[in-house]
Amino acid sequence: MSLSEIESQLSAVQQRATEDISAAARLDELDKVRVKYLGKKGDLSQVLGGMGKLSAEERPQVGKLANEAKTALQSQLEARKAALQSAAISAQIAAETVDVTMPGVYQPQGRIHPINSIIDQITDIFVGLGYTVAQSQEIESDYYNFEALNFLPDHPARDMQDTLYLPNGQLMRTHTSNTQIRYMESNEPPMRVLASGRCYRRDTVDATHAAVFHQIEFFAVDKSITFTDLRGTVQLFLEALFGDIEVRFRPSYFPFTEPSAEVDVRWQGQWLEVMGCGMIDPNVLKAVGADPEIYSGFAAGLGVERLAMVQSEIDDIRRLYSSDLRFLKQF
């Protein structure tokens, strides 16, 4: 192959490559053009394969032409690659542009459930009174749920609780009073504590009763605490929660308080029981290592669902667990 023929082929390869580079519309197409003309087995390499038939004087001239063609094609490839990348970025920006004048997609706003709402309100009231918030477990032992709270093994009050027992001998707590025992075991008086959580009883479900319910317990232990302190705390709490509401105390009985009382509020023209309370029984203080000759205290437990019913004028406790959005959207 003569020098003029190789020069002609180099020119033709460069011309075709220039046209193919300009025609490439995507980066992957451009890379195929690069391999076709500049790869190890590309068109340029094949043309240079004929240099072996040239004289020693002609080879440097062909090598110079080949390097110039290769450099020119590489420059064209880089320029085309930059142009395609810029076009791709511009297209992506255009596709992702948000038209701020268009109406947004409606996302329904969540609301706090009436039960959670009233727990938060009660917590704020008692924290404002200097109470500490404590938590305890729902799966409990007989000792913390009954024995330490002055329930004797054959005490009839155990039957009143309608307890749900577990196969391992433990039980689902029937009240949040287990928190009272656990907290007093590890803390020294004086103390003012608020505890909340789920409780469980084998109860017949109706408009004012549920088998799973929420209870809040508050108690105080210090020197010289009297029933007057209890009554004042309960009255202040209910007025802070409901405003001007009629409240009454009725004598009652609980194994862990003496004397004991039940508290009612006027609701829908009738009296509704909302909590039980009383002075902590000396036996309970002894169980946690507190000397009842030195310390006294009061405790009260209230049903969260019933307070939510009073506050939001709900006629049936079952509505709180119905998951009916028509009902929940009202709050």
The tens-digit pLDDT sequence of the chain (331 residues) is: 566 776 777 778 778 888 888 888 888 888 888 888 777 777 777 766 666 566 666 767 767 777 777 788 888 888 888 888 888 888 888 887 777 788 878 887 778 888 999 999 999 999 999 999 999 999 999 999 999 999 888 877 676 668 888 988 899 999 999 999 999 999 999 999 999 999 998 888 888 788 899 999 999 999 999 999 999 999 999 999 888 889 999 999 999 999 999 999 887 788 888 899 999 999 999 999 999 999 999 999 998 988 888 888 888 888 888 888 888 888 8
DSSP state at residue 188 = P
DSSP state at residue 281 = P
219 within domain boundaries? yes
Per-residue pLDDT tens over the stretch 253-301:
999 999 999 999 887 788 888 899 999 999 999 999 999 999 999 999 9
DSSP state at residue 101 = T
Give the domain-ending residue among 96, 123, 139: 96
101 within domain boundaries? no
Locate 250 and state its tokens. Answer: 């009725």
Q: Are residues 316 and 173 in the same domain?
A: yes
Phi, psi for 111 (deg, rounded to 5): -130, 155
Encoded amino acid at 157, one letter: A
223 within domain boundaries? yes
For residue 47, the model assigns a pLDDT of: 65
Q: How far apart are CA 141 and CA 32, in angstroms?
A: 75
Three-class SS of residue 90?
Answer: helix
Using an 8 Å Cβ cutoff, are 254 and 265 in contact?
no
Q: How far apart are CA 223 and CA 220, in angstroms?
A: 10
104 within domain boundaries? no
For residue 88, the model assigns a pLDDT of: 86
Q: How far apart are CA 163 and CA 166, in angstroms?
A: 10
Domain encompassing residue 85: 3-96
Q: Are residues 140 and 265 in the same domain?
A: yes
Quick one: CA torsion of 228, 230, 234, 235, rounded to 10 degrees?
10
Three-class SS of residue 89?
Answer: helix
Model-wide pTM > 0.85: no
For residue 54, the model assigns a pLDDT of: 64
103 within domain boundaries? no
- Number of structural domains (the chain) is 2
Q: Are residues 58 and 160 in the same domain?
A: no
For residue 48, the model assigns a pLDDT of: 66
Q: Are residues 130 and 62 in the same domain?
A: no
Cis omega (within 30 of 0) for bond into 108? no
For residue 108, the model assigns a pLDDT of: 74
Q: How far apart are CA 300 and CA 234, in angstroms?
A: 8
Q: Are residues 170 and 282 in the same domain?
A: yes
3-state helix, strand, coil in the chain (%, to 5): 50, 20, 30
For residue 153, the model assigns a pLDDT of: 82
Q: What angle (nearest 5°) sits at the alpha carbon of residue 314, between those of residues 311 and 319?
A: 130
- Residue 210: which of 331, 326, 314, 327 has the closest Cα? 314
For residue 76, the model assigns a pLDDT of: 87
* CATH of residue 144: 3.30.930.10
Q: Are residues 174 and 129 in the same domain?
A: yes
Q: How far apart are CA 73 and CA 159, in angstroms?
A: 95
For residue 176, the model assigns a pLDDT of: 93
Contacts of 35 (CB under 8 A, 6+ apart): 42
Locate 177 and state its tokens. Answer: 């009073």
Q: Are residues 165 and 212 in the same domain?
A: yes
DSSP state at residue 139 = E
Q: Are residues 169 and 200 in the same domain?
A: yes
Using an 8 Å Cβ cutoff, are 41 and 48 in contact?
no
